[in-house]
Structure 1
Amino acid sequence: MTQASTSPTRVIGLISGTSVDGIDAALVEITGTDLDLKVELLAGETYPYPKDLRERILSVCAGEAISVPELAQIDDAIALAFAQAAQNIQIGHQPATLIGSHGQTVYHRPPSEQGLGIGNWGLGKIFPNTKSLGYTLQLGRGALIAHLTGMTTVSNFRVADIALGGHGAPLVPRVDAFLLSHPQEARCIQNIGGIGNVAYIPPHHDHWLTQMCGWDTGPGNSLLDLAVTHLTNGEQTYDESGNWAATGTPCHPLVETWLRQEYFHLPPPKSTGRELFGVDYLHQCLQDAEPYQLTSADILATLTELTAKSIVHSYQTFLPKMPERVFLCGGGSKNLYLKQRLQSLLGTIPVLTTDDAGLSADFKEAIAFAVLAYWRQLGIPGNLPAVTGAPREVLLGEVN
């Protein structure tokens, strides 16, 4: 393993999540390696996509057919937007020397018995151990970002884990472990982006990393944002602070019906995305709701309840024990109604945000990919096999 410099390394982390609401950029200074890892956030900002580009990304995520030349055009446009975000976040600061860019996920297929999807081509007979491999695609190519910014750029973080048979997700739990663990307290770090994911961190002791677990819990903001867009004919794209949903009443029989969805009962490791909890799923939810004659506010309250109950159900079903505290991050941490519902369902377990633990809830994911790029440069693995299902640790990211 390469030793870290005693002087801070300035790194930019970039990510646009499944909500596609913009590029989160974090400029950080990092010292240490893992157990002595220290990160200082110097600047954080979200840069919205141009409206037309966001709409095109969302249509691709929804499975709309696209030509290869247009896919290349979108790939380039996303890389340009990420490069501009990297330049803007440095204004007024000493320049960074490294970028960690997650890119924009437009397709994610978890490992399954269908695996490579190569049908009857016979290739599976040549490499039978590839039967269950997943696939993931993040646009915004790192080589172009590196060229435009003149900085070393690490990107395509998920593919190495997936090539080993892992899910390539969630990737942030290893970073959470070294930045948010506690010597006596078991914690859940719950990210609520378009999709929710959890990292369970046991008390910090010998072999604690092997006792960690994590998975995608299901929908986060994805269904809520899609519903708001649908209910307002595109005039709004999200429910600020959950204020609209808070005026409604959840339909609990509907929530219980939706919780029977197979994904919620699959044991970890597991991952998901808009391929499951997207437009088609929302339309099915709206169809299911018709007999109940719900108001728009009731629909949002019911979808919020699904997000909250799916998170708590996954804790109760799959965790080795319930945590002492839950720390929220991501855009959903600002949804006060969702936070209130989680607190009610979790009872005496405090529901906080990672701000309360000293790590920005808004930019934690961007910070994490800055750390993963830093680790890649040092030769430190970035995945946790207990979380992703990969058979071993591996270096994450391609360097340009």
Structure 2
Amino acid sequence: MGTIYRAIGLMSGTSADGVDAVLLQTDGESVPKVISRLMEPYPETLRQRILALYEPGADELDRMGVLDRELGEFFAEVALKVCQAGGCLPGTVDVIGSHGQTIRHRPPAFSTQIGNPFVIAHRCGVVTVADFRMADMVRGGQGAPLVPMFHRVLFGGEGRSTAVVNLGGIANITALRADGGMVAGDTGPANTLMDHWADRCTDGRVHCDRDGAWAAQGGVDTEALCWLLQHPFFDLPFPKSTGREIFGTHYLDEFLDRFPHMTANDRFRTLTQLTVETVADACQRLVPPSPDRVVLCGGGADNPVLVAGLQERLQSSEVVSSHSLGVDTAFLEAEAFAWFAVRTLRGLSSNLPEATGAIAEAVLGSIHLPTSHKSQTGWDRLDSMKPSLF
């Protein structure tokens, strides 16, 4: 084990419900030790402004610029709070890894995250690494998924095949084969369409189908499910990635228009089954005939209807939550970006070409230095890395 760094990871996913934060210790190579974690929800007005930037609109550059600064302040406050929760001062933290808030993901051209890292570095007085995706994309990759390397450290190397499935807004899979081979990519929507529908049918009062309660009261509309499964994304070869640009409000509107007579609960159940079918199909395609183990993480891992559906479709696989293996389902990605930030300081690559389609490995992220006095942590260690980084 190498030098141990104290790092913070900040993550907000496509659901835009808030910021997940983790304070941990790691060398950037082995399994980290978590010190503290917390989730800070976005105020509803802030969340709506984020969602409004997911699609083109009037004055979007001005709105993005203002929101970028505001989210930088918000992310910085969350970083300071997770320090307090862990009983440490910000000056003892070596690095912050901030994924930011994705507002557009348009592979292979670009991926845009906001939550200004200069603000975070200045407010916290800590070296901050951000903009993790573009280094992969300029090498021909999709810029996603990035977490498979971390998945392999957490769940690989046991001599059996494992599919790690993150059920966030978009679902992604890391297929770890028993022979050591790996492939990864996005499988399609996980919760995003269900979240949109919850927003729509409650006039914005509720943002998700909590515990699958509405889906549990509905039934699968076979004709509608067949139509949903015909989307060309599902037949694309891995690695691949997607986002709300494809599986967003426009797609939901088309679904609603084509099948106007479905009940609200039937829509929840059918959209849940879409996730079940596309995730199960990806598991069986990438680890035929089926992986020995499927590890679920992300918010969808707490949806009993979704989990039961995957258990039914993957009967020869052991389907478990990452929580049962000692990794909190909600904070795995925040842990990953803290881990990546340490790797960036060390000049180590963090993307996997077999996961993103890039032609080469890359050191991910841009480094943002605090404008306050030099601490004895991240600054000094960054100084020692200059020959390899610059």
Q: Is the 8 A contact 1:189 1:328 kept in 2?
A: yes
Amino acid in structure 1 at the alignment position of 2:107? P
Residue 106 of structure 2 corresponds to residue 109 of structure 1: yes
Alignment of 1:358-397 (within 5 A): 358-397=326-365
Q: Does 1:263 align with 2:233?
A: yes
One of 242, 267, 278 as aligned partner of 1:310: 278
- Sequence identity (%): 37
Measure the CA separation in 1 of the matches of 2:284 and 2:292: 13
Are positions 1:232 and 2:202 aligned together?
yes
Find the residue that maps to 2:84 and give its secondary structure: coil
Q: CA deviation at 1:321?
A: 4.9
Matched, 1:193 2:190: no
Any unmatched runs of 5+ in structure 1? 112-133
Separation of aligned partners in 1, 2:312 and 2:130: 39
Q: Please tell me the residue identity of whatever aligns with 2:197.
A: A
Residues 62 and 279, structure 1, Cα contact 8 Å, conserved in 2: no
**What's the secondary structure of 1:362's corresponding residue?**
coil
2:74 counterpart (75, 81, 105): 81
Q: Offset of 1:230 from its aligned partner?
A: 0.7
Provide TM-score, normalisation by structure 1: 0.88
User: Residue in 2 aligned with 1:64?
Assistant: 57
Shift of 1:153: 0.4
Q: Indicate the larger mover: 339-348 or 381-390.
A: 339-348
Equivalent AA in structure 2 for residue 170 of structure 1: P
Q: Distance in 1 between matches of 2:70 and 2:338?
A: 22
State yes or no: 1:299 paired with 2:267. yes
Match of 1:98 in 2: 95
Which one-letter code corresponds to 2:13 in the other structure? G
Quote how far apart the aligned CAs of 1:317 are.
3.1
Q: Which consecutive unaligned segments of at least 5 residues does structure 2 have?
A: 369-390
Confirm or deny: 8 A CA contact 1:108 1:137 kept in the other structure: yes
Q: After superposition, what is the alpha-carbon deviation per residue over 1:356-397, rounded to whole angstroms, capped at 9, x for unaligned?
A: 222111100000001100111111100000110111111001
CA offsets per residue over residues 108-137 of structure 1, 9 Å max, x none?
A: 1112xxxxxxxxxxxxxxxxxxxxxx2110
**Cα pair 1:4 1:378 within 8 Å, conserved:** no
- How many residues end up aligned between the 2 structures? 364
Secondary structure at the counterpart of residue 61 of structure 1: coil
Aligned match for 2:44, one of 51, 56, 59: 51
- Return the offset for 1:52: 1.2
CA contact (8 A) 1:16 1:103 kept: yes
Instruction: Provide the residue aligned with 2:378 in structure 1.
Output: none
Query: Which segment is superposed worse, 188-197 or 228-237?
Result: 228-237
Residues 218-257 of structure 1 mapped to structure 2, 5 A cutoff: 218-257=188-227
Code of the residue aligned with 2:110 in structure 1: it is Y
Aligned mates of 1:382, 1:65 — CA distance in 2: 36
d(CA) in 2 for partners of 1:373, 1:109: 24
1: distance between equivalents of 2:194 and 2:152? 29
| Residue of structure 1 aligned with 2:19, choices 8, 18, 23 | 23
Aligned residue identity for 2:163:
C
Shift of 1:347: 1.4
Contact in 2 for aligned 1:15/1:365 (Cα 8 Å): yes
The equivalent position to 1:202 in structure 2, one of 177, 192, 203, is 177
CA distance in 2, matches of 1:362, 1:295: 30
Secondary structure of the residue aligned to 1:91 is: helix
- Please report how far the alpha carbon of residue 320 of structure 1 lies from its aligned counterpart in structure 2 after TM superposition: 5.2
Quote the Cα distance in structure 2 between the aligned partners of 1:67 and 1:238: 26
Aligned-residue offset at 1:21: 0.7
Amino acid at match of 1:4: G
Report the Cα distance in structure 2 between the residues aligned to 1:307 and 1:65, rounded to whole angstroms: 33
Residue in 2 aligned with 1:124? none
CA-to-aligned-CA distance 1:311-352 (integer Å, 9 cap, x gap) = 112223344552101011111111111111111111131211
Equivalent residue, structure 2, for 1:328: 296
Q: Residue 138 of structure 1 is aligned with which of 113, 117, 123?
A: 113
How far apart, CA to CA, are the structure 1 residues paired with 2:63 and 2:14? 20
Closer/same/farther in 2, CA of residues 226 and 38 from structure 1, 3 Å limit: same
Write out per-residue CA displacement over residues 144-182 of structure 1, whole angstroms, 9 at most, x where no aligned residue.
210111000000000100011110100000111112113
Contact 2:239 2:356 in 1 (8 A): yes
Check conservation: 2:136, 2:142, Cα contact below 8 A: yes
Question: One-letter code of the match for 1:365?
Answer: E
| CA-based RMSD | 1.4
Q: Distance in 1 between matches of 2:367 and 2:228?
A: 42
